[in-house]
Structure 1
Amino acid sequence: MMADIETKRAEMVERQIKGRGVRDPKVLEAMGRVRREAFLPEHQRDAAYADRPLPIADEQTISQPYIVALMVEALALSGGERVLEIGAGSGYAAAVLAEIADEVFAIERHGTLASKASAALQDAGYENVRVRHADGTKGWEEEAPFDAILVSAAAESVPKVLLEQLAKGGRMVVPVGSHKQAQELLRYTRQGDDRFDREDLADVRFVPLIEEPVNEGEPNGAARVIEPRRQSGGDLPELIRSQAEPFETIDDASLDPLMERIGDARVVLIGEASHGTSEFYRMRARITQRLIEEKGFNMVAAEADWPDAARIDHYVRHREALPADWEAFARFPTWMWRNEETRDFADWLSDWNGRLDMEDRAGFYGLDLYSLYTSAQSIIDYLEDVDPELARTARARYDCLSPWEADPAAYGRAALSGEYRACETEVVTMLADLMRKRQDYTAQDGDRFLDAAQNAALVANAEKYYRVMYYGSRASWNLRDDHMFETLQNVMNFRGSDAKAVVWAHNSHIGDARATEMSQRGERNLGELCARGFGTDSYRIGFGTDHGTVAAASTWGGEMEVKNVRPAHEQSYERQFHLTDLPGLILPLRAGQELDVTTALSHPRLERAIGVIYRPESELASHYFEAELPRQFNEYIWIDESHAVSPLDTDVKEGLPDTYPFGT
C-alpha cells in the first residue's frame, strides 16, 4: 500500500507539476516528500494525488497540487527564509513551504481547521511550523518582517498590511480580483520602504465550494474550475437543423452560400477546435482554395512560427532553394503543421502558383513567436550577405540569449528570479538598427528584408514573451496575440492594397474574445483585434465536434498520442449541435428572422477547446470555457465525429524539389 502511494506521489510530481512547467528543483523535491494524504479527511485519502482540489472542513478546499507548486515556486525560496502563509487550510501548503524554508508562520481564520492543521503538521514531524487561529488580513505583526508571504485565498485588493510586513527584498504572492471566477496571481517584491515591484504571474480562479459535485468526477471548486450555468435544451437542436446547411462529408459540403456570405471581406479567419483534427484542417483547406481561386486571396497566415512558414512559402511560391537541412515544423508540437493535411494543401498551392507571375502568387506566412533562436540565426544569415559588420554586432547581441537555446522558457524563470539579467535592450536595439537601414536593404531584395525585419520583431517580442509567460499570465497571452495581429498587418502592408488574407488559427485566437470569459480575465485575441481593426472587412469561422479521436500530447513536450475525444458536456454548445443528429453542418450566425437560431444561441454556454495538450480526465476544468457563440463567430461549422490528423515522418520521396519543406 505504501509503495502505491509513493508511486502516485511521484507520478503527480512528474505529470501534474513538472509536466506543466514547474522547474525549481527545491519545489519539485518538496512536493515529492510531503504526504498529501496526511492533510485530508479519511474518506478523501484515496484521491490524495488526483489533479484537483478536494473539500475539507468548514466548506473549504485543499488546493490542487499544481496550484500549490506554482505559488511556492513564485516565492523563489532558496532556503533559510521566514515565511508567512495566509489561509493555512489543511496545512498542506505550509508543509511544502516547511520543506524549504527555516520557519513557517501559518494563519487560518477557521478555528476547527487551524486545530486540525496544527495537529496534522505535528504528526507529520514539521517542527518549524507555527499555526495561528486569527484574521489573516492583519498578518502576524509581532513576527514580522517576513522574507516571503503566501496568500492562499483571493483578495479583492492587495492587502497593504501584509505588504508592510515584508522584509526588504521579500516577495508576496497573492491572487487578486473581485470576480469570483477570475483572479490574477500577483507577485510583489519590496525594493524599499514604499517601493514594490509588481509582476502578473498567472490567471487563476479561487471560487467558493459548490454544493453539488460537478459531472465527470470534476473538483468541487477552486482554481481553474468552471461552475457551469444550467441551460435547458428546449427545441434548440431542431432550430439549428432548420437553419443549417447540412453535409455528409467534407468533400460534398456545398460552399457556395458561404462564399456569398463572406462577400468582399479582406481578412477571413478560419479556426479549429483542436490542433490535431483532420476534418478541421481539410475543410479549412477547401474554403481557402475557393477564396484563392474565386476571390483573389493572396496570403495564408497561420498560427505557426515565421521561419517554419517561410520554408513553406519558398516551396509554394517557387522561390530560391533553401538549405537542405532546414526542415519545417521540426520542434514540438510537430504534428500541428507537419501532417498530411497541411502537406496536401501546400502541394495544391504550389501547383496553383506555378501558373501565375511571381507578384500574383499566394504566400504562406507564420504569425507566431516561439521561434526565438531560429529567427535570431535567420537575421544573422541575412546580414552576413548584406551587411557583414552589422551581422557581427547581431551575433554578439543575440549571444545574450544563447544559454537558454535548449529551453527558452527557462530564460523567463531566470529573468524573473533575478538569477540572470534580461536581454531586452540587446534585442530591441538590434531591431531598431535593422529598421534604420530599411531603405537600403529593401532596394536589394524586398522579400528578404521583410523576412529579416519580421524575424527581428519576433525575437524582440519573444524575449519579452518568455519573461512574462513563465507563469501563464494574461500579459503573455495578450503579447502573443498582439504580435500575431501586428505580423498580419505588416505582411498585408508589404503585399500592397490588393492584399487579402486567410488566417489559420485555433478558435480561441480567431473568435472574438469579447464574446468569451477571456474578456473577464483582461485577455484580447487576434479575432477581436481584427474585428476592431478591419471591421466588416473581417469574417470569422469557428469549428466544433462531439466525439472521435484527436492528435495531442499529455504534457508539454510529450509524445503525440491519438486520444479519444469525450462526448460533449451536456451544458455545452457542442451538445446542442450533437443533438441535431447531423454528421456535419454549416450554420450562419446572423440575426434577423422571427424565430432565429442566433438569438437562441446567444445565451452563454460552455464551449470546448483542445490545444496541443488534451487531458480528458479533467476535461471540464482543462478544456471548457464560457462563450456566446453568435458574437464569437460569423459562421460555425460542425463535424459530429472527427479524427486525428496524420503526422508525417521526415523522409522525402525521390524527385521532389529542393525547396520541399516537409523533410530532408
Structure 2
Amino acid sequence: MTAASTSNSKVLQLIQQCAHRLRSNTSVDYDPILAAIGNAQIVMIGEASHGSHEFYFHRAELTKRLIQEKGFTIVACEADWPPAYRVNRWIKGLSSATNIRDANDALKEFTRFPSWMWRNTVVLDFITWLRKYNEDLGQQKKKIGFFGIDLYSLQASREEVLKYLEKNESSLVAEARKNYGCFERYSDEQEYGYCAATKLSSGCEKEAIEVLKKMLEHHAKNISKGKTNDSNSDESFYAMENAKIVREAEKYYRHMFEGGEITWNIRDTHMCDCLQDLLTHNGPDTKAIIWAHNSHIGDARETDSRRARQVNIGQLIRERFGIGNTFNIGFTTYTGTVTAADNWDMDPDFKRIRPSLSESVEFLLHEALTKDSTMRNDGQYFLLFRSNNSSINLSKELHNELHKKRLERAYWCYLSSTY
C-alpha cells in the first residue's frame, strides 16, 4: 500500500468488507440494490460522465429489472422533450409513429450537442428492448414510456406547440403564432438571452406566458372531457409540456446573461416539475426512473452546491416525495475513457480521464478494490449507504468515513480541459 492508503487503512478495510461485485454479464449482482430500493416510487440513476459505456450499460440493466420486477413505467431522462417523445411514440407503437422505421430512426432527432448522450449503442439496445417489452405486454397493461425532462428545446418545442394547434385547435393557431413570432427575430437562444438581458429588446416573456395559459386551459378542457387515458390526451399533454418548456427556456436564457436567479436552479426545478407532471398525467401509482448526471441526481445539500445556493433534482425529489419514497444511485471511476470533445459543438473523440485526486472517494475505492490481493481485480463494485428495506444491514461506520469532506475532481462530457 502507498503511504496515503496506509493512513486510511481503516476505511480501506471497511470498503473491502462492504463492497458488492458488479459484473456486466450477471444480473443477479443487482439483487442487493433492488432489495435496498424497496417500494420507492422514484429511483434516480446517475453517471459521472455523459460518455462512458459502463455507466450507461449498468444503468440500462438496472432499469430493465426495475421495470420487470417493481412495476416502473416511466424513464425520464436529462434529455430534450421533443426528440425523447419521438422515442416514446415508437416504443409504444403509437399510430403517430408509423413513419418511424426502427430504433435508429427513433433516435434521429437527438441532434443537439452532445448527441452521443442518447445516440449510442446502449440507448439503441435499450429502446429496442423497451419496444419488445411493450409489445409483449398486450393492450390491457400500461406501456413503458421514455421521456426527456430538460428545457433546452426552446425552438423545437415552440414548433411542436404550433404543429399541435394546427391539427387539433385551429382557433388558437393565429394568436400562438403571433406570440411565438417574437422569438423569430433572434438567430438562436443565446442571442435571445443576451438581447433580453441587456435590454436591447423587450424579450418574449409575456408572449411565452400567454401561449402557456392557453395550452393549460386547452389541456384542462381535454381532461374534463374524460380523455385522460387515450392518445388525444397524451398528445394534448405533450403539447402543454412543450409550452411550459418554451416559457422556462425563455426564463433560463434570459437569466443566463441577466444574473439574479441561478440558471442551474431554473433548469433542475423544471426537470423536477416535468417529472411531477408525468406522474400526475399517468396516475397516482406511477413509478419513475430518472437518468441524469450525478450532479443532478445527488443531493445538493450534501455538497458545496449548498453554499452557492444551488438546488438539484435529487434534493427537490427528496423534499417533495420523502427520502423513504426515493432512491439515488451514482456511478464514478478512478480512471478510464470517455467520449468527449475539446469544445462545445466539436466532433467527439475518446479521451482518457485523469486518475482521481489523492484521498478522494474515488482514490480510496481504487486503493481498496484493485490493489488488494483478496479482491478480484475486475474493477467494478458497488457500496450501499442507505436502504428503504429495514432488513438490510448497512455499515454506519463506512458511511461516516466516506461522508467526511474530501476534495473531488469534476469531469463532464465535452471539455477535455476539465478532466
Q: Please indicate the TM-score interval, normalised by the length of the shorter structure.
A: 0.7 to 0.9
1:586 aligned to 2:379? Answer: no
Deviation for aligned residue 1:331: 1.8
| Corresponding residue for residue 534 of structure 1 | 321
Aligned-pair distance for 1:398?
0.7
Cα separation, 2, equivalents of 1:528 and 1:351: 34
The alpha carbon displacement at 1:315 in A equals 1.1
Report the residue type matching 1:598 in the other structure.
H
- Does residue 381 (structure 1) correspond to residue 163 (structure 2)? The answer is yes
Higher relative contact order (CA 8 A, sep 6+): 2
Query: Which residue in the other structure is 1:604 paired with?
Result: 405
Q: Aligned partners of 2:267, 2:394: CA distance in 1, in Å? A: 38
1:474: how far off? 6.2
Distance 2:25 2:304 in 1: 31
Superposed displacement of residue 312, structure 1 = 0.9
Q: Residues 242 and 480 (structure 1 numbering): CA distance in 2 closer, same or farther, change over 3 Å?
A: same
Matches within 5 A, 1:491-530: 491-530=278-317
Larger mean CA deviation between 557-566 and 302-311 belongs to 557-566
The aligned counterpart of 1:418 is 199
Q: How far did 1:615 drift?
A: 2.7
Match of 1:333 in 2: 114
Match of 1:397 in 2: 179
Aligned position for 2:273:
486
Aligned with 2:331 (options 527, 534, 543): 543
Partner residue, 2:374: none
Task: Name the stretch that deviates more: 575-584 or 460-469.
Answer: 575-584
Q: Distance in 2 between matches of 1:514 and 1:250?
A: 35
CA deviations 1:435-478 (Å, max 9, x no partner) are 12224334461101110110000100000000112478761000
| Equivalent residue letter for 1:612 | C
Question: Unmatched 5+ residue regions in structure 2?
Answer: 1-5, 371-376, 388-392
Matched pairs, number: 387
Unaligned runs of 5+ in 1: 1-230, 620-664
CA contact (8 A) 1:288 1:502 kept: yes
SS of 2:127's equivalent in the other structure is helix
The 3-state SS of whatever aligns with 1:300 is strand
Q: CA deviation at 1:268?
A: 0.2
* Alignment partners' CA distance in 2, 1:458 and 1:615: 30
Provide Cα deviations, 1:409-438, integer angstroms capped at 9, x if missing partner: 121111122211110000001100111222
Pick closer, same or farther for the CA change 1:407–1:275 going to 2, 3 Å.
same
Matched, 1:436 2:217: yes
TM-score w.r.t. the length of structure 2 is 0.87
1:78: which partner in 2?
A: none
Q: CA deviation at 1:407?
A: 2.6
**How far apart are the structure 2 equivalents of 1:388 and 1:395?**
11
**Which of the numbers 70, 79, 93 marks the counterpart of 1:318?**
93
Q: CA RMSD, aligned part only?
A: 2.1
Question: Structure 1: how far apart are the matches of 2:22 and 2:47?
Answer: 18
1:611 offset after TM fit, Å? 2.2
Deviations 1:266-302 (A, max 9, x none): 0000000001111101100011000000000010000
Which residue number in structure 2 is paired with residue 646 of structure 1?
none
Residue identity over aligned pairs, in percent, reads 38
CA contact (8 A) 1:247 1:253 kept: no
Bigger helix share: 2
Local SS of the residue matching 1:338: coil
Contact 2:22 2:30 in 1 (8 A): no
Shift of 1:490: 0.4
Name the one with the larger strand percent: 1
Alignment partner, residue 58 of structure 2 = 283
Which residue in 1 is equivalent to 2:80?
305
1:361 aligns with 2:161: no
Q: TM-score, normalised by structure 1?
A: 0.56
Distance 1:366 1:398 in 2: 22
Aligned to 2:263: 476
Look up the SS of the partner of 2:152 in the other structure: coil
- How far is 1:358 from its partner? 6.0
Amino acid of the structure 2 residue aligned with 1:576:
L
Cα distance, 1:232 vs structure 2: 5.2
Matched, 1:556 2:344: yes
Deviation string, structure 1 residues 177-204 (Cα, Å, up to 9, x no partner): xxxxxxxxxxxxxxxxxxxxxxxxxxxx
Distance 1:595 1:301, change over 3 A: closer
Which is higher, the Rg of structure 1 or of structure 2? 1
Contact 1:384 1:391 in 2 (8 A): yes
Greater shift, 590-599 or 368-377, is seen at 590-599
Change (3 A) 1:594 1:426: closer
